[in-house]
Structure 1
Amino acid sequence: MRSTTTGTARLTKTHKLSAIGVTVAMSAAAVALAVTPGQADTPSIAVKPVAWTTTDLGAHDHIAQQSEHAAQQAKTDTAAAKKKADTAAKAKAAKAKADAAAKAKTDKARADQQAASRSQARTPVKPTTPAKPAAPAAPVKKAYADNLDGWIKESLDILKSKNIPATYDGIKRNVMRESTGNPRAINDWDINAANGVPSKGLLQIIDPTFKAYHVEGTSWDPYDPVANITASCNYAADKYGSMDNVNSAY
């Protein structure tokens, strides 16, 4: 039995726990009231500033230096690439110019050589004079047709009498290539024409060569078909052995 006369009683375990809960709740309310905005007695909260150290500044400077170095390196690489490209372009242009000059020189040398081979005067072949017969018979005049066939045959007879080699086929083949059988043909565009000595006649011979290789007994007119053929064959025999050996410009 507990006494009730004194007006006091002992706190049970449950009462103690209740009292602690009330105390905690009041403390929480007091904290909430202290941080509620708009209250007259709002407590101030001190914020500690962040301090920069020399180590932090050094790292910042290092990053800046790296960025500047990278930018400078990129600029240097770009300049080097441009210089390399410019050098390559100049070398290519110089090579193209040198190649063009070499080709032009080769072409000129070839043209000069061809011109010289066509216009160079050579000593005519001196035909072997056949032994005179004791009592030569009067020559029989032979008739020839006034066309390419007749001109070639008459020329062959003259050439044979002078021991100058040539054949019908060799003469006709070169005549058709040089003039297509036109005894009045003249070349007014090649190097000989530019030098004032155009090629003329059936076998396109120039005046200096015609005069140097003219065969006795024929006309001195380079347009005369028989004279043109015989002089040209005389020249071809001297240079190539025979007109038969000529297959291009000579």
Structure 2
Amino acid sequence: MDAPHRRETRRLQENIDRRMADQHMVLLLARDGFAGRRYERFAEELARYGISVFRAWMHSGFLFQLLAAHGFDLHPDEHEIEELARDGDVREELATMTVARALPRFRQRALVEGGWNRDGGASVATYFIGACVYEFPNEYRRHRSHQERWRRAVHQAGATAENPTVNNVASEVLGRLRVLDDLTNICDPRMRTAVALTLDDYTQEEIKEILGASSVRAVEGLLYRWRTAARREEGERHG
């Protein structure tokens, strides 16, 4: 057997081994009803992987090619493509929100309902990335809508310079930019998701459902820990 054939055989075997390991993991998670601490650790690792993949795909522009191949042509203009290549904060927010929306649907359809199985040819991680691909178009359209509202707010503020609310508008925009910048420093993907969703005006009940959290108080706890850490870091910067 020549080298290319040996590499292909090894790749196929690795894929089989990975899917076998994934099946064992899914069976363990099923014992807990796809809930609890073990599932949370699994979801956190899956979220980290999904965010990493989507950040890279947005940076290279490959994601739009992949989406077009699946029938989701978002027709990004040059400015949008350049923004994603340049702005790591935007990539982080879009990736985080996409993964946050994909996780509960993946849990229900792939795990609870058995949509994923080892004979389907894809690992659990690959199957999850596929779920994220289908979530991204709606998230990107929301991003476009938010950007347009920002532009209108800033334009209106500039056009009404005598209005005392101008400073409030500017402060709101700058405050949002500061929080978006801080998202990249939040290591816990669940906390990062909770902050991003709060920034997008989701209620804590909605955030609880998206995260699969046990209660609204659990969401409040995530946000409280983030605010405490943010205030401490702000104090250290100005101390």
Give TM-score scaled by structure 1 length.
0.20
Hey, which of these two has a bigger chunk of helix by percent? 2
| Larger RCO, structures 1/2 (Cα 8 Å, 6+ apart) | 2
Given the two structures, how large is their TM-score scaled by the length of structure 2? 0.21
Structure showing greater radius of gyration is 1
